[in-house]
Amino acid sequence: MRRALAAGLLTAVLASCAPPPQPPAPPPPPAPDLARDLAGRVGTDGIYTHLRKFAAIAAENKGTRADGTPGYQASVDYVANLLRDKGFDVQTPEYVRVERGAPGNPVLDVGGRRWGVVQASLLTSTAPGGLTAPTLHPVKPAGCAPDDYGTLNLRGAIAVVDDAVCSVVDKQNAAVARGAVAVLVVSPPSANGAPRGLFSPGYYEHLNTPVGIIGKDADAVLLKTNSPVKLTLDAKNTGVKSRNVLAQTKTGDQHSVVLAGAHLDSAPTSAGINDAATGVSALLETAAALGGSPKIENAVRFTFWGSGAVGQEGATKYVRGLAAEPLNDIALYLDFDILGSPNAGFFTFDGDQSGQANPEIPLDAVPAGSAGLERTLAGYLYLAGKRPADMTMDLGSGYGPFLTAGIPVGGISTGTSQRKSPIQARLWGGQAGAAFDPGYGPKGDTVEQLNRAALAVTGPTVAFAVGTYAQSLTGPNGVPLHDERHRQAGK
């Protein structure tokens, strides 16, 4: 008993003298060969498994996976469920895009004189025949809060406000709170567009009262009349609900995120296989090889956009909806849409602007780091035996919102409806004078017409690029680090 007591006391004394417990060791650094390892694990068999699934989804849904259709929702479910099963944090945020119908003839009639109006309430029109009501200006011209109207009685009136200080949604809400039945915003045309913040992301989803935009000339006439005016907003638009899919690793620096994406939808009358299920499938295989909790330096977020075939709304709403810090946390964006063209070429986005420049994108407007992304992608293609050519950057593509926000962008493509030149045919093989993708368009985009040999090159290229930047953002092909980034999502 005494020995046991003595032993217990000795143990207690030793414990009291022991150093405090150390924090857990940091995770081991990423494997230096991660990029090559991922590239070696992404093959055409896995890619074709996904491609056949997307083709089956289209076949079960009237031949299409177009945005806003059951085929698209089935595509979202397939991608989201697969990535959840691989251990990623998955979100499927919903948004509403506008499908334009008849434009109507929006007009403001003041004493028989008609003034053009831009309909801001894209999903809300006036009743047939228009709305007749008096107009009132707030005491504080911006009209951002109910108190800006002072003691004015707005019941049954049209509020007329300027375009400063707050969003059009705030202006509507303030006017409606005081009884207004419509809002006119005075915003003269400008080469710089509307004031920043006037049209916040998805603003039209929140405009449930007729709202129009007029110029100063029309406002000057309104200030001189006390008579009712007639406002007609008669555009016939509809709102289409859609979703993006976002899947992020649980590991890696959450403030230096590598984004890699493609649009998930098809054209309205297409199965959307080369455009862009090839890019989606290569990304899914890369994600499966990487896993949801890999040993990486930088977090990876795989992104699959809605509305890519009808205006790039998914990517645009995502970028413009981010606050300053989450936007600054994005280190780069890699975009992969068309990777299996039958008469394939091998193009890299022209990040260094060494090829034919797009006049809409000045050299100094291409974000720093884009040239490094191009070199990384081109370097792997060279290793795979394919000499790449420059592809002119395009603000209308899925990466456009990222480029505009100042985020480095890179990507590859095997070409669409452009015709392969004799020089390109000697360089890459294939048929000169024929389109890179002869089936590009509504009905020819099928699994059977894909170029498996091209996918055997482009699929691993996707994985190599993701793995490279998951390991490190520095080096000769690096991108700006967090403290060096200056992002701006646009209006």
Show Cβ contacts of residue 423 under 8 Å, excluding neighbours closer than 6 positions: none
Per-residue pLDDT of the chain (491 residues; tens, 9 = 90+): 333 333 333 333 333 333 444 444 444 444 458 999 999 999 999 999 999 999 999 999 999 999 999 999 999 999 999 999 999 999 999 999 999 999 999 999 999 999 999 999 999 999 999 999 999 999 999 999 999 999 999 999 999 999 999 999 999 999 999 999 999 999 988 777 788 889 988 899 999 999 999 999 999 999 999 999 999 999 999 999 999 999 999 999 999 999 999 999 999 999 999 999 999 999 999 999 999 999 999 999 999 999 999 889 999 999 999 999 999 999 999 999 999 999 999 999 999 988 888 888 887 889 999 999 999 999 999 999 999 999 999 888 999 999 999 999 999 999 999 999 999 999 999 999 999 999 876 667 899 999 999 999 999 999 999 999 999 999 999 999 999 998 887 64
Q: Which CATH architecture has domain 34-97+240-484?
A: 3-Layer(aba) Sandwich (3.40)
pLDDT of 13 reads: 32
Contact in structure between 410 and 465 (CB atoms under 8 Å): yes
Distance CA 68, CA 95 (A): 11
In 113-266, the DSSP E strands lie at: 113-116, 118-119, 131-133, 135-136, 158-162, 182-186, 211-214, 229-232, 238-243, 245-248, 253-263
The reply to whether 107-236 shares the fold of 34-97+240-484 is no
pLDDT of 201 reads: 80
> What are the sequence ranges of the domains in the chain?
34-97+240-484, 107-236
Q: What is the rounded radius of gyration, in angstroms, for the C-alpha atoms of the chain?
A: 28
**Token pair of 236 as six digits:** 């016939």
pLDDT of 293 reads: 98
- Tokens 């392969």 belong to residue: 420
pTM metric for this prediction: 0.87
pLDDT of 188 reads: 87
CATH 3.50.30.30, domain 107-236, yes or no = yes
Please tell me whether residue 96 adopts helix, strand or coil conformation. Answer: strand
pLDDT of 209 reads: 97
